[in-house]
Structures are given as C-alpha cells and as structure tokens.
C-alpha cells in the first residue's frame, strides 16, 4: 500500500491543494512534527529523508519546513526542489538540484526568511523525489523554547508557540509529538500542549527519541508507557534511536543497522513491536496513517470547499460592486435607483418578475390573526386588496341603516326646533347623520393607519431584499422613512378634508332616490295589506230575495294625531338616512382609498425615487469602500479563487 500509485496520487493531491494555498482557507490532512528544541526533531526528519539538517543552535529550525517525499521511477537518483512563497529568485535557483546540495538551500532559506526577524511565518517547502522514495509529506515546526540567547528578541518563544499551536489546533493535523526518552512523559510540555488541542488523544502520536540516553532504572516504566499501558493514545506510541552528533557522517544504511542492533540487544526493547520502533517502521507507520487519514478526510474536505465557496460568494455578493470614488458611487446609485423604481412600481400594481415569483413561490399572501407577517409583505397589491376589503366591511357594519326607528324618534325629539308636526328639517337629518359620520371617521383612521404601516413595512422588505450592499441599503431606507413621514402627513390631511366635506350630506346619486321610493312603495303596500284584513275578516250574508252578497266594510279614518305624524316623519327620516348612508359609505370608501393610500403611497412612489436621484455627495461618500472594505473584498476574491482551483483537484 505504501508505494502504491494511488497513495502517491493522494499525497500529490494534498500537496497541490497546499500549492493552491487551500491550507490558508481550510484545514487539510497533514502530519506535523512538534517538540522542544534539541528534542531530536531534526534527527527524526533526517531518518525519513536522508537529508542532513543543521544541528547548531544558530541554524536550528526557525520556520516551518514542509518535506514532500515523492517516488519517481523515471529518475536515477534523488533530486531536490525548494520553494518559498513570494521568493521567485530563490524558487528558480532551487527548482531542481541534487539532494546533497540541501545544506545550501537551508543556509539561503535562513538568510531570506530570518533577515527581518528571528522567526518567520513563511514555510520552506522541500520536494524530495527519487526512484526509491516512499510517498510521505511531513511538516517540521520550530522547536519550543523558554528562554533566548543574548541579543535575541524576547518575543521568539511566543512567536514559536503561535506557529506550533496554529498547526496543533487544526483538526486535520496529526501531531507527531517528539519527546526525549530522558524526559518524564507526564511532565512533557509538548504533550501537554498537544492534549490541550486534542483532549481525547485521537490525533496525537508521541514519538520517543534518544532511547540510549535513558537511565536503566526507568527503562521498564518507559517501555510500559510505549506499550500504551500507562497513558492511552488512540494511535499508540513510536520510538526511534537518533543519529548522534558524532555519527553525523555515518551512511544512512549503517545508521539504520545501528538502530536495529540497539533495539535488538536489549530484551526490554524487544518487547516493543517492530512496527513501532526504528526509522523504517516508523516511516511506514506514518505513511499508512497519512494514507488512511487522507482517504477519510478528502470527501469531507470537498464538501467543506463547496460550502465555503458558496459562503464567501454570498458575502462578496452582499458587498455589491466595487465603488472606488464618489463618481462611481453616483453612477452605480443612479443605475440601482432606476431599476428599483421600475421593479417596485410594478410590484405595487401586482406585476411581479419571473425571478421574484420563483423566489417566493409558495409564500401565501396572508395575515395571521390580522397581523403582518413576512409572507404578506412579498405580494403588496394582493395584501392591500385584503386590507381594503376589511375596511369596507367595517364601514358597512356601522351606519345609520342599523339604527332603530325608536332611536331616530329620540334623535328627532332631541334636535327638533320650530318645525310643524310631521316635518323634519335638514339640520336634524345632518345631526343624526353626524353620529354615523363620527364612527366612520374613527374606523377610517384606524384602518388607514394599518394600511400605512403595512406599506411602510412592505416597501422596506422589498428594499432589503433587492439591495445587498449594507451602506446602500441604509441610504435607501433612510430616504424612504423621510418620504413615508411626509406622505403620512398628506394622508392625514386628506382624511380630515374628506370627512369635513362629508359632514354636510350631499348627493345626486340616483340610487339614493330609488332607495327612498322603494322604501315608500314598500310602506304603501304594507298599508294596503293592512286595509285588506278587515275585508277578509268581514261578515258576509246573502239577501234571500235578491241573492246579493253584502260586505260589511268600515275602514278606520286616517289619524290626525300629531304623535302619529311625528312617527311617520321619523320613519321617513330613517328611510332617508339608510339610503343616504349606503351612498355616502360607498363614496367615502372609494374616495378615501384613492386619495390616501393609492395616491400618496402607490402612485406617488416615484417622488421617493426622484429625491434619491438628487442625493448629495456627502451621503454617497459613505458608499465608497474604505481601505478595510477593499482589503476584505480582495481577500474574499483571493480565497474564492483558491477554493475554485482546489475544487478542481478534488
């Protein structure tokens, strides 16, 4: 499995994702070596790569080094390439060199990356290719230190800690924690830091180095720990014998043999499985581990790339077009204003775009218990129609047609002046109608207020939906509030004027006269029906001699009682009031809606947009992107490109 073409392809895929800088946006599967300075980290890397890393303190790891080992059967010997992001001359110079020139790469990398500070955030990437290489990618991190040398910056320990912890907290990073055998594992700083970021010990692999430096008396305890009996680690423990300073020039094969001899000499070390000890076994273990890790994480990573791309695109889209100057701001603002004017004007009369209908398909235009909800704000015209119908029904419910004749009689009695019995003056008609007029006015104000509020919320919802740029949205909403308050005043004035005109009854509507005539005809018919009753009940008898039926008909004479005349006059007044209220109510409802909501909120919406066209430069200046916004836009664009390129790899 370790040398399989598939495995090399997976490792190459991860390396390509890093080349695309995906690891700057999302975490990618990797193995990172962490440990204290002089813990044997460099020796571990040497054992895997056969490269000689510097040992002196001045040249110890001062930046992260990613080593990619690739099998290439087309090569006859190992080659090395080195790359540092942004260092084109360096990258060209070390595009392909012999592996034994590695010391030149390290020397120049230190010079480049540490010229401004002792520790660099940049990464030196090494690719070691050869016919016998086993695929593996591993990142070597600067060793933890607690103090600095004279002349060194006091910030170095914190800088190193920051770099290490960025890798350790990454949930897709396997932590290869290097711990010297002569250090109590329970008191190991690096294991403590690893456990903080991996509390369940699921992705931490302790690797014990310098086993030849341990006191014989503590060996059994160490072996017991490595056998995973004392502190459980899900991935177990590893152990390697480092090549000492005196053996630096020892060929790799001889160093490997010396390591095998060391573990084979002592029965205690032979208790550790071969798969967990020695450079060859450790490298294979890590290769298999990385292979399984990549296989598991790649499908999840692909989904994360897709979701992250969508998320960043939405954020970038919400920023709108880039606006670098006030001139650009005015041009974009004017263009948007005209588009919104056309779209909102259409929505107000019930004409919706295909995009809008698809977007809000299934959202019913309705009220819950008479209250506005998000759905009712989407389709403005149909919601307005429902509010209009509610208003009309409320007006019909309260009117003089609901008054009883007794109430009319009482009103006539209250307001009667010098009129002759049976006469009702126009002033009495007006005063009786005044009660209904006042009720209608109160109802109208309540319903128009509800309509105004609905229009305000519906237009605001439309603007929020249509305008993605937050600063632009604020300008539009602020101006709409100003427009709304102005139109609200005009509507209130219109209500007062309409009801002032309606205080004095007036109509030439034929329906009014037809209704009165019908009411009178119905009463005349009722009187005739009453006059027939005596005829139907009369006693008939037949003249025996002539054979003629004689009817006994004695109709009552019409009353001349003044109270009866007053009663008749009150009934006539009641009929007149009912007829007039029907006419006046319909007229008021129509006129009220046309001259308030329809005029000031619907037809005059163009006034709102005309004011926006004239907005001053001071307000438009806030639309020009700040430096922070420009940086954020550029960052979003860069990260989206990274994600798009990475998705092609996945």
Instruction: List the single range of 137-146, 465-474, 603-612 with lowest mean pLDDT.
Output: 465-474
Q: Where are the domains of the chain?
A: 28-297, 326-528+562-624
What percent of the chain has a predicted confidence (pLDDT) above 70? Answer: 86
pLDDT at 458: 94
Which CATH fold topology does 326-528+562-624 show? 1.20.120
What number is the average pLDDT over the span 395-410? 71
Q: Is the pLDDT of residue 126 over 50?
A: yes
Q: In 3-state terms, what secondary structure has residue 128?
A: strand
The answer to whether residues 448 and 592 touch, using CB atoms and an 8 Å cutoff, is: yes
Tokens 């009854």 sit at which residue?
Answer: 505
Mean pLDDT, all residues of the chain: 84
Closest alpha carbon to 458 in 347, 595, 604: 347
The answer to whether residues 208 and 239 touch, using CB atoms and an 8 Å cutoff, is: yes
Closest alpha carbon to 144 in 239, 82, 60, 23: 60
Q: Give the model's confidence band at 62: pLDDT under 50 very low, under 70 low, under 90 confident, else very high.
A: confident
pLDDT at 43: 84
CA distance 199 to 188: 15
CA distance 97 to 441: 93
The size of the chain, in residues, is: 650
pLDDT at 514: 84
Q: Which of 53-67, 250-264, 321-335, 478-492 has the highest mean pLDDT?
A: 478-492
CA distance 215 to 184: 12
Q: Is the pLDDT of residue 545 over 50?
A: no
The answer to whether residues 174 and 293 touch, using CB atoms and an 8 Å cutoff, is: yes
What number is the average pLDDT over the span 430-459? 92
CA distance 13 to 19: 10
**Encoded tokens for 110:** 């230190």
Closest alpha carbon to 286 in 594, 573, 2, 511: 2
What number is the average pLDDT over the span 575-581? 86
Q: Which residues of 530-550 are buried (b: 16+ CB within 10 A; e: fewer)?
A: eeeeeeeeeeeeeeeeeeeee
More confident residue, 326 or 109: 109
Q: Is the pLDDT of residue 243 over 70?
A: yes
What percent of the chain has a predicted confidence (pLDDT) above 90? Answer: 38
HEC readout, 227-288: CCCCCCCCCCCEECCCCCHHHCCCCHHHHHHHHHHHHHHCHHHHCCCHHHECHHHHHHHHHH
* Whether the predicted model's global pTM rises above the 0.75 cut: no
pLDDT at 370: 47
Q: Give the model's confidence band at 23: pLDDT under 50 very low, under 70 low, under 90 confident, else very high.
A: confident
pLDDT at 443: 95
Q: Is the pLDDT of residue 312 over 60?
A: yes
Longest dimension (CA), the chain: 167
The answer to whether residues 15 and 126 touch, using CB atoms and an 8 Å cutoff, is: no
What number is the average pLDDT over the span 8-15? 85
DSSP string, 42-55: HHHHHHHH------
pLDDT at 452: 95
β-strands 204-209, 97-98 pairing:
unpaired
pLDDT at 319: 80
**Encoded tokens for 466:** 């249509």
Partners of residue 71 on adjacent β-strands:
130
The answer to whether residues 180 and 39 touch, using CB atoms and an 8 Å cutoff, is: yes
Closest alpha carbon to 606 in 378, 380, 345: 345
Same fold yes or no, 28-297 and 326-528+562-624: no
Beta strands in 72-109 (DSSP E): 79-84, 97-98
Partners of residue 69 on adjacent β-strands:
128, 136
Number of H helices, E strands in the chain: 21, 11
**Encoded tokens for 401:** 């047609």
Which CATH fold topology does 28-297 show? Rossmann fold (3.40.50)
């Amino acid at each position: 499995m370790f040398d399989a073409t598939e495995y090399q392809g997976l490792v190459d895929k991860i390396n390509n994702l890093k080349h695309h800088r995906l690891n700057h946006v999302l975490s990618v599967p990797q193995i990172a070596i962490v440990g204290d300075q002089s813990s044997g980290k460099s020796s571990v890397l040497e054992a895997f790569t056969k490269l000689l890393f510097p040992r002196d303190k001045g040249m110890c790891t001062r930046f992260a080094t990613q080593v990619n080992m690739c099998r290439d059967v087309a090569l006859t010997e190992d080659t090395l390439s080195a790359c540092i992001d942004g260092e084109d001359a360096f990258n060209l110079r070390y595009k392909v060199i012999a592996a034994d020139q590695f010391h030149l790469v390290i020397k120049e990398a230190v010079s480049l990356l540490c010229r401004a500070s002792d520790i660099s955030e940049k990464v030196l990437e090494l690719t070691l290719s050869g016919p016998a290489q086993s695929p593996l990618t591993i990142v070597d991190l600067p060793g933890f230190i607690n103090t600095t040398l004279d002349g060194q910056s006091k910030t170095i320990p914190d800088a190193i800690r920051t770099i290490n912890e960025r890798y350790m907290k990454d949930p897709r990073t396997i932590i290869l924690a290097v711990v010297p055998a002569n250090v109590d594992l329970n008191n190991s700083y690096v294991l403590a830091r690893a456990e903080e970021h991996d509390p369940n010990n699921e992705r931490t692999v302790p690797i014990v180095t310098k086993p030849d430096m341990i006191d014989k008396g503590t060996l059994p305890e160490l072996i017991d720990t490595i056998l995973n009996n004392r502190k459980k680690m899900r991935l177990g423990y590893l152990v390697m014998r480092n090549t000492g300073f005196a053996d630096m020039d020892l060929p790799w094969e001889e160093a490997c043999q010396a390591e095998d001899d060391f573990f084979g000499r002592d029965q205690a070390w032979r208790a550790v499985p071969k798969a967990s000890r020695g450079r060859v076994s450790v490298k294979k273990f890590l290769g298999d581990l990385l292979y399984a890790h990549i296989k598991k994480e790649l499908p999840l990573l692909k989904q994360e790339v897709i979701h992250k791309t969508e998320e960043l695109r939405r954020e970038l889209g919400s920023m709108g077009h880039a606006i670098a100057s006030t001139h650009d701001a005015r041009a974009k603002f004017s263009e948007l204003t005209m588009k919104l004017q056309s779209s909102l004007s259409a929505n107000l009369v019930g004409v919706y775009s295909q995009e809008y209908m698809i977007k809000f398909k299934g959202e019913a235009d309705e009220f819950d218990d008479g209250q506005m909800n998000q759905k009712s704000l989407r389709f403005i015209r149909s919601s307005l129609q429902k509010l209009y119908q509610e208003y009309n029904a409320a007006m019909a419910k309260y009117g003089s047609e609901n008054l009883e004749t007794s109430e009319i009689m009482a009103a006539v009695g209250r307001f009667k002046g010098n009129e002759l019995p049976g006469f009702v003056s126009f002033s009495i008609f007006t005063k009786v109608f005044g009660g209904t007029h006042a009720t209608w006015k109160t109802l109208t104000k309540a319903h128009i207020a509800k309509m105004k509020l609905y229009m305000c919320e519906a237009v605001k919802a439309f603007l929020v939906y249509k305008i993605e740029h937050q600063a632009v949205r604020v300008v539009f909403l602020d101006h709409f509030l100003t427009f709304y308050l102005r139109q609200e005043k005009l509507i209130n004035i219109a209500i007062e004027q309409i009801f002032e005109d309606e205080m004095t009854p007036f109509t030439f509507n034929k329906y009014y006269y037809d209704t009165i005539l019908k009411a009178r005809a119905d009463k005349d018919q009722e009187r005739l029906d009453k006059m027939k009753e005596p005829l139907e009940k009369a006693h008939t008898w037949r003249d025996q001699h002539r054979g003629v039926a004689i009817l006994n008909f004695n109709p009552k004479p019409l009353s001349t009682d003044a109270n009866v005349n007053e009663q008749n006059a009150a009934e006539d007044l009641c009929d007149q009031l009912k007829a007039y209220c029907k006419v006046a109510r319909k007229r008021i409802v129509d006129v009220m809606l046309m001259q308030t909501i329809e005029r000031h909120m619907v037809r005059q919406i163009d006034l709102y947009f005309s004011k926006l066209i004239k907005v001053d430069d001071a307000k438009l200046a806030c639309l020009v992107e700040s430096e922070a916004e420009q940086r954020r836009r550029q960052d979003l664009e860069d990260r989206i490109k990274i994600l798009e390129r990475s998705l092609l790899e996945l």
